[in-house]
């Protein structure tokens, strides 16, 4: 389970209770009163903002939260490992390399990538690199990128060399809401526009690259452009954040809405096919909402401001709080997310014309525009 919200909202129990009552209505009334349950906050996006990187992007949300991602690649020498033959016997290193060279032309890089060829780091203002939040965010983003195996296979050059990809993710402002979706969209746009120098050498030769940047190939191919494998494939995944409150499911929740959530789900999606924006699920993770840490409200019978009587001792106060917990103005939700609710969220995300298709199409429009 993911770490909870990095910042707690400063709302009173009465304000939290009112906010929740508006979100459980049908249709729900969101915090800013202008968005529907599937609407996302408006954003400003641009790419190729770092001249020294292979790819980069920056996205700023309307609340002022901004993220910057830079992608850099360098050539590394691969470790030679013995290769098993058809009978399962281990071949010598030389024989294994010869076999790999024979199949390179037919199936370049397919299934040869390694997870260690991709390194992701996340920096958040006010957090150490080893704090739970940035560690989890980096892990979740890396997991979605490695899920299909296609990105790491793209980094294969030949049996002796490969690309090492460094993805540096920086949140430029303190997190005003849970930043996972923003970081994912910025990473998606940075990878979508990343390019690698064109390879001029062949097969198992030492790699020789074209120094003309105009001849560089896209890490994730465009339909009308050149690709590493000569065919268009899946685009980078995008993580969508959804929360459940009462009977309603709300996407792209702000910090105040997350404060009253029953459950929060992070869904990573990628294109189902290269020629369509129809999405498929890559990974799913639950997020521990900050509402689980919100203290319960004070019942009227214990609130002197409403004519109640303040308990004489702490022991009496504890007893009354336990007896009247369900009658207070605010009771924090408990428990996890039911399977039926997860299924409902997934259906809304991946259906034709659904949330994931809308987000992926918008980001691809930015790249093509």
Q: What are phi and psi of 228, to 5 degrees?
A: -65, -35
Pure H helices in the chain: 13-23, 93-104, 132-146, 150-154, 180-192, 255-258, 314-323, 339-350, 355-368
Report whether 178 contacts 287 (CB < 8 A): yes
CATH number at residue 181: 3.30.230.70
Provide the pLDDT for residue 104: 46
Q: Answer yes or no: is 200 within a domain.
A: yes
Segments in the chain below pLDDT 50: 1-2, 4-5, 92-96, 98, 100-106, 224-232, 320-321, 323-324, 327-328
Q: Answer yes or no: is 309 within a domain.
A: no
Provide the pLDDT for residue 151: 87
Q: Answer yes or no: is 2 within a domain.
A: no
Q: Is 79 helix (H, G, I), strand (E, B) or coil?
A: coil
Report whether 100 contacts 186 (CB < 8 A): no
Q: Answer yes or no: is 67 within a domain.
A: yes
Q: Which residues of 143-163 are buried (b: 16+ CB within 10 A; e: fewer)?
A: bbbbebebbbbbbbbbbbbbb
Q: Token pair 């014309």 is at which residue?
A: 353
Number of compact structural domains in the chain? 1
Q: Answer yes or no: is 206 within a domain.
A: yes
Q: Answer yes or no: is 323 within a domain.
A: no
Q: Answer yes or no: is 207 within a domain.
A: yes
Number of H helices, E strands in the chain: 9, 11
Q: Answer yes or no: is 8 within a domain.
A: no
Beta-carbon contacts of 214 under 8 Å, excluding residues fewer than 6 positions away, are none
| Domain boundaries, position 102 | 13-294+330-368
CA dist., res. 316 & res. 321, Å (int): 9
Provide the pLDDT for residue 360: 87
């Amino acid at each position: 389970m993911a770490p909870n919200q990095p910042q707690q909202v400063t709302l009173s129990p009465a304000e939290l209770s009112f906010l929740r009552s508006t979100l459980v209505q049908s249709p729900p009334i969101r915090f800013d009163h202008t968005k529907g349950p599937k609407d996302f906050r408006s954003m400003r996006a641009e790419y190729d903002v770092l001249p020294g990187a292979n790819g980069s992007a920056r996205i700023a949300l309307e609340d002022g939260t901004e993220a910057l991602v830079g992608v850099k690649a360098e050539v590394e020498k691969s470790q030679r490992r013995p290769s098993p033959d058809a009978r399962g016997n281990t071949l010598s290193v030389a024989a294994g390399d010869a076999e790999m060279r024979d199949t390179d032309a037919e199936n370049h890089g397919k299934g040869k990538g390694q997870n260690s060829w991709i390194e992701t780091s996340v920096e958040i203002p006010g957090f150490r690199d080893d704090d739970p939040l940035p560690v989890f965010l980096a892990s979740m983003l890396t997991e979605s990128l490695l899920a299909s195996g296609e990105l790491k296979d793209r980094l294969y050059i030949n049996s002796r060399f490969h690309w090492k990809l460094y993805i540096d993710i920086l949140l430029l402002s303190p997190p005003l809401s849970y930043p996972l979706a923003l970081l994912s969209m910025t990473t998606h746009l940075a990878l979508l526009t990343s390019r690698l120098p064109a390879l001029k050498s062949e097969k198992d030769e030492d790699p020789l690259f074209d120094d003309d940047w105009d001849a560089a190939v896209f890490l994730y191919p465009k339909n009308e452009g050149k690709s590493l494998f000569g065919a268009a494939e899946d685009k980078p995944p995008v993580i969508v954040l959804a929360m459940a409150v009462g009977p309603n499911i709300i996407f792209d929740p702000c910090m105040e809405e997350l404060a009253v959530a029953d459950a929060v789900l992070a869904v990573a999606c990628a294109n189902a096919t290269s020629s369509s924006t129809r999405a498929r699920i890559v990974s799913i993770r639950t997020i521990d909402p900050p509402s689980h840490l919100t203290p319960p409200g004070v019942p009227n019978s214990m609130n002197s401001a409403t004519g109640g009587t303040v308990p004489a001792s702490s022991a009496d106060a504890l007893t009354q709080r336990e007896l009247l917990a369900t009658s207070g103005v605010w009771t924090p939700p408990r428990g996890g997310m039911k399977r039926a609710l997860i299924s409902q969220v997934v259906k809304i995300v991946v259906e034709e014309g659904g949330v994931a298709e809308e987000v992926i199409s918008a980001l691809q429009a930015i790249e093509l525009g």
